[in-house]
Structure 1
Amino acid sequence: MPSSFTSTCSNSEVDSLKDLLENEEVRYVRKGYGLITAIIMVAFSYFILPSFMLPIYKLLPYENKYMMYGGGCVIIHELTYILANLVMYLIYHAELPFFERYKISNDPWPWKKNPELWKVQLKKTIKNLLFNNLIVVPLVASPSFFIEPSIETSIEAFPTWKQLIPQTIFFMLVEDTTFYWLHRLLHTPRFYGAIHKKHHEYINTIGIASEYAHPLEFAFGNLLPAAIGPLLLGNCHIYTIYMWNVIRLLETTDGHSGYDFSWSAFRLLPFSGSANYHNFHHSHNVGNYSSFFTYWDTICKTNTHYWRYLSAKEKSE
């Protein structure tokens, strides 16, 4: 498909830098006023929020690196996941037109499509989430209680936006690369049936599905990619790590939410994916292996099916 396929919809083939830039332009334009909201959210998170968090941080046992890293990361993980999905629960059940216009699939939510089957799936999901969050997360974090982490916890070194922005971007790039290749590995016959198929029980995803996974996948395919960036960088401030954990959990909840919100702050990133991008991975079970970005999928031609699907869909509208 030539890069001049259309000026109003995405290209079905991305074979050149021009194609990438055209798709990026369309993606940003389509966000509309949501783009302004996303920019405000990002600016608040990096330029204003740290000043509000500093007084709270002073109340923590910041001199205890073991507790701040191990215990702190576990608490941040659990609180963020719970709060993010409480918000999504309210959005799902409010059924407000303001939110429903961003719904990706025309299929009804699982609790409406088949209430009895949903009760079974929900019970199964809750058991898995409890095990992953109450057993696997503390287990993965446990070494930090015995080995002094290479982090900064002092108030004097509390990070500003000049540290937060480049460091969290670095974490995103490392996480996306690690996640892509591990995720792709999980789709090979050797690992899919035994491990990754569990996550794909959700064909059209919802927020809680983000951490519904085989414990081995959860530990090595979810938690590990997020931890590698801070470990590689070393000696960054614990607040930066907390912020990164929140970013990663909110991003994956957003990506599994079933809504493609125009104001999603994560989609401000150049060559980023979307909830629609990841929902295609679940609904078609092919390609789109990345988390934050799309460049690995593009380089390895693992999002070609998605671009073709999107192009055909837009041509028919």
Structure 2
Amino acid sequence: MLGNVLSGAWHGGNATWPLHTRPLLQPAWDYLQRHHEGTLRSPLFPALLSIFTYLLLVLFYTVLDLLAPTWPSIRRYQIHPERTVTWQNIGATLALTTYNHLLYIFPAAVAQWLWRPPVPLPPEAPSLTAFLLGIVGCVVLFDFQYYLWHVLHHRISWLYSTFHAIHHQYRQPFSLVTQYLSAWELFSVGLWTTVDPVLLGCHCLTGWAFMIFNVWVSAEDHCGYDFPWALHRLVPFGLWGGVQRHDIHHLQPGTNFAPFFTHWDWLAGTACASTTKPPRAETEEDESGDSTKASGQRADNGA
């Protein structure tokens, strides 16, 4: 069969190979449209996709946090092995996340669902090249947007104390700190994640993939574990910040502002690749078990 294909690809003196013009992602896209078109067209779908992805990730990391004190095979990968994530920490962060989603995110999603007609789905899937380049483009654009936003919210004291300080109450972050945010910050991140694929003219499948990637990276940056498969270990030349550099940002908040890459911090002189551990009194578990939490304003004394 292969011989017939190879021999039939030649016509006269010219070598012409049969090229498949059908995108590699087309079968998967056809399946999704055929079986889940109503769900995909709903304006609620992006919000539900983001929330579901986030809950799966934080569930995985939270289970690790609860097992780590008695499982050395897990604890060995913790950036702060002396840290213990308690049920009090989990309850406090989960309460704010739930509050923000119920009071702000869910009503906004429902309003969009009521005011916006179902999203039309293009019949053609993106090519694999367009799919991957679209995600890369969204990552680069989001990285620049959030870097500027982040620097401003550290440099301007009113912005910091009003909107961003709450996120820095935890000097040693764990996965649920990812969305331990003010509503303003949550809206800002969600807006760019939604709008950037539209600005770059990406296929909706590319936009959803970028959304999943963004949630995954954010959770990994806050998880507190430096696993061998962490992205900063896979991307060469130190181009990716990752969990270690973001952990340093929570210890030294005047550094490492970019969410993904390291180039903006290097160019602006805000990069920091290592740090000394904080004083023992700030890292060890106190009687209340709230060892990971400290004053947000005290944490940002270098910003």
Question: TM-score by structure 1 length?
Answer: 0.70
- Residue number in structure 1 paired with 2:50: 77
Paired residue secondary structure (1:288)? coil
- The alignment status of 1:196 with 2:196, answered yes or no, reads no
- The alignment status of 1:247 with 2:213, answered yes or no, reads yes
Amino acid at match of 2:115: F
Alignment of 1:97-136 (within 5 A): 97-111=72-86, 119=88, 121-136=89-104
Q: Give 1:266 deviation, angstroms.
A: 6.3
Give the CA RMSD over aligned residues. 2.8
Q: Give 1:297 deviation, angstroms.
A: 0.7
Paired residue secondary structure (1:291)? coil
From the superposition, tell whether residues 72 and 83 of structure 1 become closer, same or farther in structure 2 (CA, over 3 Å): same
Does the 8 A contact of 2:231 with 2:240 survive in 1?
A: no
From the superposition, tell whether residues 49 and 213 of structure 1 become closer, same or farther in structure 2 (CA, over 3 Å): farther
Q: Give 1:143 deviation, angstroms.
A: 4.0
In 2, Cα distance between equivalents of 1:218 and 1:85: 17
Indicate the structure (1 or 2) with the bigger Cα radius of gyration. 2
Which moved further from structure 2: 294-303 or 257-266? 257-266
In 2, Cα distance between equivalents of 1:277 and 1:223: 23
Of the three residues 35, 49, 74, the one matched with 1:59 is 35
Larger RCO (CA under 8 A, 6+ residues apart): 1
- Residue number in structure 2 paired with 1:287: 255
Structure with the higher helix share, 1 or 2: 1
Alignment of 1:211-290 (within 5 A): 211-220=179-188, 222-234=189-201, 236-265=202-231, 268-269=234-235, 271-290=239-258
Which moved further from structure 2: 202-211 or 87-96? 87-96
Which moved further from structure 2: 225-234 or 178-187? 225-234
Paired residue secondary structure (1:60)? helix
Alignment of 1:5-154 (within 5 A): 55-61=31-37, 65=41, 67=42, 70-95=43-68, 96-111=71-86, 119=88, 121-141=89-109, 142-143=111-112, 146-147=115-116, 153-154=121-122
1:67-107 alpha-carbon deviations (Å, 9 max, x no partner): 1xx21101101110111111112222233444322211142
1:14-67 alpha-carbon deviations (Å, 9 max, x no partner): xxxxxxxxxxxxxxxxxxxxxxxxxxxxxxxxx9998667534531125974x1
Amino acid at match of 2:180: Y
From the superposition, tell whether residues 104 and 50 of structure 1 become closer, same or farther in structure 2 (CA, over 3 Å): farther
Question: TM-score by structure 2 length?
Answer: 0.73
Does the 8 A contact of 2:131 with 2:203 survive in 1?
A: no
1:158-188 alpha-carbon deviations (Å, 9 max, x no partner): 2342221100000100111111110111112
Paired residue secondary structure (1:163)? helix
- Residue number in structure 2 paired with 1:42: none
Q: Give 1:232 deviation, angstroms.
A: 0.8
From the superposition, tell whether residues 110 and 64 of structure 1 become closer, same or farther in structure 2 (CA, over 3 Å): closer
Amino acid at match of 1:55: Y
From the superposition, tell whether residues 279 and 64 of structure 1 become closer, same or farther in structure 2 (CA, over 3 Å): closer
In 2, Cα distance between equivalents of 1:175 and 1:123: 30
Amino acid at match of 2:149: L
Pairs aligned (count): 248
Identity of aligned residues (%): 23
Does the 8 A contact of 1:62 with 1:153 survive in 2?
A: no
In 1, Cα distance between equivalents of 2:46 and 2:140: 20
Paired residue secondary structure (1:193)? helix
Does the 8 A contact of 1:84 with 1:253 survive in 2?
A: yes
Does the 8 A contact of 1:230 with 1:241 survive in 2?
A: yes
Does the 8 A contact of 2:78 with 2:226 survive in 1?
A: yes
From the superposition, tell whether residues 250 and 308 of structure 1 become closer, same or farther in structure 2 (CA, over 3 Å): closer
From the superposition, tell whether residues 137 and 58 of structure 1 become closer, same or farther in structure 2 (CA, over 3 Å): farther
Paired residue secondary structure (2:162)? coil
Does the 8 A contact of 2:151 with 2:257 survive in 1?
A: yes
Does the 8 A contact of 1:205 with 1:257 survive in 2?
A: yes
Does the 8 A contact of 2:143 with 2:258 survive in 1?
A: yes
Unaligned residue ranges in structure 1 (runs of 5+): 1-46, 112-117, 311-317
Unaligned residue ranges in structure 2 (runs of 5+): 1-22, 277-303
Paired residue secondary structure (1:172)? helix
Q: Give 1:296 deviation, angstroms.
A: 0.8
